Structure 1
Amino acid sequence: MNIHKRIKISLIVVSCVLLDVCLHMFTTPYGTMPDNPDLSFIAEVIGIEATATLWAFSAFSVAAFVFLRIRKRIPGEGVKKGLRYGASVALLWLSAMIEGVSLFGNPIINEIVVGLSDAIPVFLLGVLLGFVKPGTIPATYSTSGLPVRKHKAIFFFAAIFFAGRYLAYTIGAIKSGIQERPVGTSMWTLLMGMAIGTTFIWLDAYRNQKLLRQRIAEFTLFVFGMNWLSFLMFMPLLFSGYIIDVLIRMAVDTTLVTIASYLTISTVGTSRTIGSWNSCIC
């Protein structure tokens, strides 16, 4: 990659981070910061705003890095690649943000508004990066309808994520609102599983030339894992007492996504079939 493209990518990341910061400033009335937060060491030293900005630079840089590594294998041409990727990460982050409703009892409108302040810039990040170095893949995909197999794939992810997370909730391995808000916790857990399954469908086809084990590892540990970890790191970066919870969440969630990915690829259909579903996003 030449210096000019590196500069373009850096400017895109910085611009999207600045947009993220501005949106959070405008949506401050919808913020859910506790009155007397137990701040982390970093937040105590540099302040809440600077810590949040540091997280944004880190998370958006990770999102950009992942895209640049996989862009040649994402279906579509040019900006459509960025559209798929940006929409996928935005969906993951927005869905994850809504957990605050069941976990902390925050109003859902607040979580959606604040979540969109991150989702919109990261979606734009994907779209803009799609212009930097567009690529194509040799396969073409059908644009006809939404086959039943798509819904079966989402069902695998939703069911496995729901069952695994509830086991972790029940034994107290992960903080949750299962006691105080059981209905909300159930709804969010199901929603999150469906969101992960949807991103798998949108991005899965670029691995159609790879072995099963490689495809699963790439989605679970790289595409999902890195973007998931970068989002979850906001809490331990800003507040104290969340590091262990985040590590357990990562271990549990990546295990569940690995299982769901394997079942989807091995029992629902081939990569080419899954790839045909991706046409619904572009």
Structure 2
Amino acid sequence: MKGKRSMKSKKWKYAVIITIAVALDILLHVLTGGYSETAPHALELSSLAEHVGEEGAAILWAVLAFSGVAYVFHRFEGSIKGSKFTKGLRYGIAIGMMWLIAMLEGVALFGNSLLNEFIVGLSDFIPVVVMSVLLSLFTGNNESTRPASSLVKRRKNPDMKKLASQRKNLLTLIVFATLFLVGRYVAYHTELIMSGYRVNGLSTAVWTFFMGLTMGAAYLLLHHAVKDDLKIMKSVTFGICIFGTTWLLFICFMPLLFKGFLVDVLVRVAIDVTLVIISAYCCELLLSDSTFRKGRLKYERESV
């Protein structure tokens, strides 16, 4: 009976916090409305937007998007590293950062102002972070989750351990950025998805590279949340359940409001999820502890 009451209370807390996040998102978008130029061209409204209006469709997107992000947090919160506050902050920054940089694609796609897109992107970034922290503080468990290796004292060479960690992080970012850049350019060149590849070549290249870096950073923040001994399953779970879900929730905004974007969004999500899975798997294989343990032992022998 107590467990049922606790679960019911948790659901109410989720509902209230999601409502707060949606309200904050709407408020910030109203305040930054003068900077919004995501689709400067004359676009035909979707059937949904024609029936409920652009504002209604945007509110529906916000409810769906933030509810989905909250659900993903609920599923993986127990395995995210850190205390209650840092779990929420880690998750919120990872997802919010991807949404913010994704917003900047409007610079390459439509030739929009970088500053304007950044300001509008903050209207989604801030509520995601706020919601994630609130969810963690008011619904998360009290345990501080750390990888098992961090519970064991390292007697030898803490500097080498720090260096190995920095190398892992750097190589992870390089792997994600490189594979995303290559994969996206194949999609651009073959015109599988819309892009500014031919018109805004430089901004497209810069955005694609930084989006890959951002995905790598999100992986570094959240990959411990997936518990699976099989590297391929861990990569697939991260790519589909954490990245894929939150990525689709963000970019489905366009087909909800305008016609002609649904197929592009579905293809885009499929390509990006595939690239993230491949990148994550490469990192799991190349950057495993055993790989770096060999380097650490070699360094220690040479230091003697």
- Sort the TM-score into its range (normalised by shorter chain): over 0.9
Give the % identical residues. Answer: 38
Instruction: Return the match for 2:265 from 238, 242, 246.
Output: 246
CA offset at residue 213 of structure 1?
2.2
Please give the secondary structure, in 2, of the residue aligned with 1:175. Answer: coil
In structure 1, the partner of 2:8 is: 3
Q: Deviations over 1:192-220 (max 9, x none)?
A: 00000000001112335532122111110
Larger radius of gyration: 2
Distance 2:67 2:12 in 1: 13
Instruction: Give the gaps of 5 or more residues in structure 1.
Output: 274-282
In structure 1, the partner of 2:140 is: 133
CA-based RMSD of the aligned residues comes to 1.9
In structure 2, the partner of 1:96 is: 102
Number of residue pairs the alignment of both structures matches: 273
Distance 2:279 2:147 in 1: 25
In structure 1, the partner of 2:17 is: 12
Distance 1:133 1:102 in 2: 39
CA offset at residue 180 of structure 1?
0.7
Q: Which has the larger displacement, 193-202 or 71-80? A: 71-80
Q: Deviations over 1:211-253 (max 9, x none)?
A: 2122111110000000000011000000000011011101111
Please give the secondary structure, in 2, of the residue aligned with 1:249. Answer: helix
Segments of 4+ moved more than 6 angstroms = none
Indicate whether 1:117 and 2:123 are aligned: yes
Distance 1:209 1:76 in 2: 19
TM-score, normalising length: structure 1: 0.92
In structure 2, the partner of 1:106 is: 112
Distance 1:67 1:188 in 2: 27
Task: Give the residue type in structure 1 aligned to 2:147.
Answer: A
Distance 1:193 1:124 in 2: 24
Q: Is the 8 A contact 1:157 1:197 kept in 2?
A: yes
Q: 1:6 to 1:168 in 2, by over 3 A?
A: same
TM-score, normalising length: structure 2: 0.86
Distance 2:173 2:282 in 1: 11
Instruction: Return the match for 1:265 from 284, 294, 297.
Output: 284
In structure 1, the partner of 2:93 is: 87
Instruction: Return the match for 1:59 from 48, 62, 65.
Output: 65
